[in-house]
Amino acid sequence: MAQDPKSAARTGQTVAKGRGKRSCPICGKPTDDAYRPFCSKRCADIDLGKWLGGTYAIPVVEEDGSAGSGGPDDD
């Protein structure tokens, strides 16, 4: 029977995730639990560099009529 993750944390038991071993999103090698979801510190650092360098970006949709919307800068 599956166990509630919260109760497992209290008892110190681990709960199976129900998904198989994933591969590193940078190089494709099997992941290492110490650097999950990556296989190594090197791949984790490469990914961080992509975020900091702007290679990855989360798209933002600006709403029309945002000027005078009652935000903190509107006086």
Residues tagged in the binding site annotation for Zn(2+): 24, 27, 39, 43
Residues making up the annotated binding site are 24, 27, 39, 43
Q: CA 33 to CA 56: how far, in whole Å?
A: 24
d(CA 27, CA 30): 9
Contact 31, 38 (CB under 8 A): yes
